[in-house]
Structure 1
Amino acid sequence: MQTQVQRLLDLEAIRNLVHIYCRAADRHDHKLMRELYHEDALDDHGSFFKGLAMDFIDKLPEIQAPMEILHHNTSTHNIELDGDKAEGEVYVIAFHRVALEKRSIDLIVGGRYLDKYEKREGVWKFSHRAGLADWTHIQDPSSVDFSHPLVSGALVGQAGLDDPSYSFFQGFTAGKRSNV
């Protein structure tokens, strides 16, 4: 019974890791992103970056600078556990509104993350993450319109500490992984 309970706890910790990654990416919270990878972890984001994850995180301010909106959504998550190591395939749809010189464009990527996780000192983190694109859609120029009456007066998400979630919630602190 203990083994089954531990398996469920490990699976939930890995799912939580993936969800926190989405928040860290979308809020441009690089300090939080560092908490999600082991120091020797690898990251493969295609043409953006391939190498040590900590070096990738160092480049994130430059990579994310033109991204006015990032919105990662994960769905199917297949996980294979093997003791303190695991592998996972995570389906993702990621929306990017990217500022160009005179206009913004929308880029939607449907793909998967191919992950390797390790539990060290009782904490699951990424040991290797690779992004894979299954499809893309580009809208040029951007079709994002916050002036429409249906969203008038709504809170609008944004990168960084000015995102409304930081003032709304008490348990979400920038740069800090909670409930681990």
Structure 2
Amino acid sequence: MTDHERERRIDALLDRQAITDLVHAYANAADRHDHDKMRALYHPDAIDDHGHFARGPAMDFIDKLPEIQRAMAILHHNVTTVNIKLDGDRAEGEIYILAMHQVRAEDRLFDVLIGGRYFDRYERRDGVWKFSYRAIVADWCWPSDPSAIDLSHPFLEGAHIGCPGPDDPSYGFFDRFRRGER
């Protein structure tokens, strides 16, 4: 392998890692309801297609998140398979996810577990990879009404319990992960 080829391959690994970090930061921002962090992940002219929740400018989608997330007692996005194709300062990704939602509806809670994918386009601008386009694709859905989640189960006794927003235990534990930061 030539030095040039080695450098090209290292650059590609660094680009893939930066995009993978972006994808993981999105899951964290969504689950913690951290809208400032979410804004930092998209280019200002990016598009987001979240089905009936919002289709269009990503910043409009993020503006709607407080309303959308108000009913979410639990959001838990799990990134599984990550497929990324690089092309200079542009890239595409097919990102598999499992997304758990516990939803408040009037006098009850219900669960929706979704298996799906994100179809992403990324662009590197000023040296930083961000989303230029993101669409959710649902492959399956497993609803449970009423909710099957039991955070009072004895198995969880004494455990820290996560929650959306700034009261999540992660903000008191970590020194380097700050709300609103990528």
Interval containing the TM-score (normalised by the shorter chain): over 0.9
Aligned: 1:130 with 2:135 = yes
What is the CA distance between 1:163 and its match in structure 2?
A: 0.3
What is the CA deviation profile of residues 50-94 of structure 1, one whole-angstrom value per residue up to 9, with x for unaligned ones?
000001000000010000000000111111100000000000000
What is the CA deviation profile of residues 142-167 of structure 1, one whole-angstrom value per residue up to 9, with x for unaligned ones?
01111111101110000111000011
Aligned twin of 1:32: 37
- Gaps spanning 5+ residues in structure 2: where? 1-5
Runs of 4+ with >4 A deviation? none
Tell me the distance in 2 between the aligned counterparts of 1:102 and 1:160. 22
TM-score, normalised by the number of residues in structure 2: 0.96
Tell me the distance in 1 between the aligned counterparts of 2:11 and 2:139. 33
Aligned twin of 2:77: 72
Aligned twin of 2:22: 17
Aligned: 1:150 with 2:132 = no
Tell me the distance in 2 between the aligned counterparts of 1:26 and 1:48. 16
- Counterparts of residues 52-67 of structure 1 (less than 5 Å): 52-67=57-72
Tell me the distance in 2 between the aligned counterparts of 1:65 and 1:148. 25
Identity between Structure 1 and Structure 2 (%): 59
What is the CA deviation profile of residues 23-46 of structure 1, one whole-angstrom value per residue up to 9, with x for unaligned ones?
000000000000000000000000
The one-letter code matched in structure 2 to 1:2 is: E
Query: What is the number of residues matched between the two proteins?
Result: 177
What is the CA distance between 1:108 and its match in structure 2?
A: 0.4
Aligned twin of 2:3: none
TM-score, normalised by the number of residues in structure 1: 0.97
- Gaps spanning 5+ residues in structure 1: where? none
